[in-house]
Chain A
Amino acid sequence: MSVIRLENVGFTYQKGMPDEKTAVSEVSLTFKEGSFVGVIGHTGSGKSTLIQMLNGLIKPTAGSVFIDDEDIWSDTSKLRDKRFKVGLVLQYPEYQLFEETVKKDIAFGPRNLGLSEEEIEERIIEAAGYLHLSPELLERSPFDLSGGEKRRAAIAGVLAMRPDVLVLDEPTAGLDPKGRKDILEVIDNYHRKENKTIILVSHSMDDVARYADTVLVMNSGKVMYYDTVEEVFKHSSELRETGLNIPTVTDILLTLNERGIGVDTDIYTVEKAADTITAAVKREVHI
């Protein structure tokens, strides 16, 4: 199991040029083993740049990234091995499908790990199982699939690497509600069964509240909050000021509270919101 630690990490695009732009600065934090971290922040807050540094896809211009207490850039000959521990699913990953069949596409990563054919087959079956890709679908060309299927095929390719940490950048963007839910359930299931670390970048506070245990809020390239879901969503007014929102139901509960209805406000899911409102109404109205 791998732990990722960032120490004073920064990244400046076009460093030293007149149009240099700092995307990330002074980020120090640890992604704990087995945690499910939701990363939020508006466009340009540095989220995508940050996560691309987690597996060495880009090299920080300041500070260090440690995987299992080893600075991944200290010995670049080892970078490849480190990189395999952190699977990165970029935005619109289906654009990176390229093989003749879905199966070959999923096999690409494991083959690069130097695994035997049996092991590769095993990895394909496992990843396809998680992503609900049928044996028939595995034989098809990735280009014949629907949008949601392509997305799942692309994620399967990363899962087949059995990464200790799975990082996903807005994996549900552009999908319909069912497609969104399917992908999130897959990630949640993988997290529960394998106890792997998940880092999920999302614009949906409702999704983050439902699935994550920890929230990282990025603002202007820096860490604004990094704490449990409960602690972070307590800062509703600060979050709103930076252009973020809070889960719909939390917003409703806060307003009800302002209007003198005694509901709990540290609630982020529909089920629990219904419970607290029901309790408050029965207490304050029917008695």
Chain B
Amino acid sequence: MREYIDFYEEGIVSSLIKFDNVSFSYGKNSVLQDIDLSVEKGEFLAVLGYNGSGKSTMAKLINGILVPSSGKVYVDGMDTSDEKNLSEIRKKAGMVFQNPDNQIVATIVEEDVAFAPENLGLDPKEIRTRVDDAIKAVGLEKHIKDAPHKLSGGQKQRVAIAGVLAMRPMCIILDEPTAMLDPKGRSLVMNVINRLNRENGITVVLITHFMEEAVLADRIIVLANGKIAMEGTPRTIFSEKDKVTSLGLEVPPVTELAIKLSENGIKVSKDIIRPEELIEAITALKEDIH
């Protein structure tokens, strides 16, 4: 509690998540070193990095599944290493993992979504409202009575997100939520995540290997060797193609195309990150003349 008050006094509480000089090791194996990071309320942060760069460890540090070997992680001002804070922290920061099958506990969609609020001991009416709202937010109203195992991977992953939403969290941390999905499932899940952030103001921390998903974020951090190797808006990150590639990542195909065009002498910006931008830029070249 003491630390909570200190945080308010220091006036840094607007950061929903704060890593203060955080290191983490499994035995002798150092995974993260000296991480300083603040995630603001309402922000959409994407975390990129090759397999083994420390991304998942970072996610687990946020909601106290892991605690730092040194340094502190705060969620809404609460220290994750203080066990008394954990249940409150997990209400505020919910996690969604890669494999939807490992996250579903009940045999009917609405029961699965109700699982966490029931454990909070909420009033049944309140639970009903939360479950309905959560299921609506992920667009699964038609499947409320279905058995989760009959749903597609993308639908299951949206059930998992609804389960987290029913906790009314301030923040959702998603660890490669679309890795096992097909393109359609992936885009539906990303639409839900994007909408929760833009319309409901939920802070999103998205760990992903898909650059097209990272483009949707406000800010990207790239982890490498347990440290933050790059940080910036999607546009600034992807404009540094050589650096991005050297960190085991790639730029979105549209950025690659824009770079090639620019090298061919076509006047388009090299930091284009969305297909619409490139189409506009090329169409504009034509209209300039006519």
Task: Name A's B-contacting residues (CB within 8 A).
Answer: 42-44, 146-148, 173-181, 203, 205-206, 243-245, 247-249, 251-252, 255-256, 259-261, 270-271, 273-275, 277-278, 281, 284-285
Q: Contact: B181 with A43, CB < 8 Å?
A: yes
Contact of A252 among B183, B186, B249, B275 (CB under 8 A): B275
B182 interface neighbour in A42, A259, A273, A284, Cβ under 8 Å: A42
Contacts A42-B184, A271-B260 supplied; 17 other A-B pairs, CB < 8 Å: A43-B154, A148-B51, A174-B176, A177-B211, A177-B250, A181-B250, A203-B186, A243-B182, A249-B253, A252-B275, A255-B279, A261-B286, A274-B257, A274-B264, A275-B264, A278-B265, A281-B266
- CB distance B181 to A206 under 8 Å? no
B94 close to A (CB within 8 Å): no
Compute how far the CA of A174 lies from the CA of B185 in the bound complex, rounded to whole angstroms. 15
Q: Does B66 contact A (CB under 8 A)?
A: no
Do residues B51 and A176 form an inter-chain contact, with CB atoms below 8 A? yes
Distance, CA A84 to CA B179, complexed state (A): 31
Shortest CB distance A243–B (Å): 4
* Chain A positions within 8 Å of B176 at CB level: 174
Docked-complex contact A147 and B51, CB < 8 angstroms: yes
Residues from chain B with a CB closer than 8 A to the CB of A270 are 253, 256-257, 260
B248 & A176 in contact (Cβ 8 Å cutoff):
yes
B264 & A278 in contact (Cβ 8 Å cutoff): yes
Q: Are A206 and B253 in contact (CB under 8 A)?
A: yes
7 residue pairs bridging A and B, Cβ less than 8 Å apart:
A42-B152, A176-B209, A252-B275, A278-B264, A278-B266, A284-B286, A285-B286
A146 and B289 within 8 A (CB): no
Specify which chain A residues have a CB less than 8 angstroms from the CB of B186 in the assembled complex. Answer: 203
Residue of A nearest to B244 (CB): A177
How far apart are the CA atoms of A274 and B265 in the complex, in Å?
A: 11
Assess the A43–B153 pair: CB atoms within 8 A.
Answer: yes
Q: Across the interface, do A175 and B51 meet the contact criterion of CB distance under 8 Å?
A: yes
Which residue of chain A is the closest to B264 with respect to CB atoms?
A278
